[in-house]
Chains A and B, each alone.
Chain A
Amino acid sequence: DVKVTQSSRYLVKRTGEKVFLECVQDMDHENMFWYRQDPGLGLRLIYFSYDVKMKEKGDIPEGYSVSREKKERFSLILESASTNQTSMYLCASSRRGANVLTFGAGSRLTVL
C-alpha cells in the first residue's frame, strides 16, 4: 500500500525552538507539498517541491523553510517556533502533472 509518512503525529514545542517536520513517501513521486490546516481556512500551501533540491514558496512561507535532499523526503523547518505556528501540518505528494495528491496522516504541532 502506497504511503506518505509523517514522522510525528503530535508535537509540543516551546517558543523559539527549532522544529523539524519530516515527510517520506515511497511512491517515487516528483512533487511534494507542505500545507497547514486551520479552522475556517482550509489547507494553505506553505512550500512545495517538484524535484530534488528544488523548492517553491506557497502562499504562507514566512517563518518556514524546507529541504529536499532526496526524492522521497521533504522536510519542513520552523527555525524559531512561534505560538501562531500552532496548527495541523499535512504533507502530500503526487506525480508530476494533474495527478491526485496522496496525503500523510498529519502532524499536530502545539507551540507554547
Chain B
Amino acid sequence: ILNVEQSPQSLHVQEGDSTNFTCSFPSSNFYALHWYRWETAKSPEALFVMTLNGDEKKKGRISATLNTKEGYSYLYIKGSQPEDSATYLCAFMGYNNNDMRFGAGTRLTVKP
C-alpha cells in the first residue's frame, strides 16, 4: 500500500489568516500529484495537477508547491475566508500506474 500522508489532520484559523498544510508521498516512481478541495455535501473538485519537481501552481489565493525528490507538496491559502472551509485532499499517482492514492485529508475551518 502506498503511503500518502497529510498533516495536520484538522486546522482552525481565523478569517484573514494565512495557512499551509503538507502532503507527503513516495519519492520514487513519481508521476503526478493532485490537490482536491472537498466541501461538505459536495463532490471533491480538482485544484491542481502537479507533475514536475519544483512546480508551483496558483489559483486565486491558493497556491501549491512540489518537491518530488523529497516527496512532499505544500498547499498555501493566503488570507483565509470562511468559504475556504473544506477538506483538502492530495492524491499521488505513480509511474506506470493508472491509480490514484489519496491522503486522509486536512480539514480546514475558517472562523469569521
Contacts and interface: CB of A to CB of B under 8 A. Distances in A.
A90 B43 contact: yes
B99 A40 contact: no
Interface stretch (A10-18, A42-50, A62-70, A77-85): A42-50
Given A98-B31, A101-B34, A42 B43 contact: no
Contacts of B46: 100-101
Interface in B19-76: 31-32, 34, 36, 43-46, 49, 51
With a 10 A CB-CB cut-off, give which of A35, A43, A90, A94 has the most chain B CB atoms: A43
Interface residues of B, number: 24
A56 interface: yes
B89 A48 contact: no
A1 interface: no
A103 B32 contact: no
Nearest to B90: A42
A58 B99 contact: yes
Interface residues of A, number: 27
A104 B106 CA distance: 21
Interface string B76-105: 000000000000010101000011111111
A41 interface: yes
B98 A56 contact: yes
B9 interface: yes
Contact of A59 (B1, B49, B103): B1
A33 interface: yes
Contact of A35 (B9, B102, B105): B102
Contact of A33 (B1, B9, B99): B99
10 contacts: A42-B6, A45-B99, A56-B99, A58-B99, A90-B44, A99-B49, A100-B46, A101-B34, A101-B36, A105-B43
Interface of A: 4, 31, 33, 35, 40-45, 48, 50, 56, 58-59, 90, 92, 94, 96, 98-101, 103-106
Given A45-B100, A98-B34, 4 more contacts: A35-B102, A43-B89, A43-B102, A94-B100
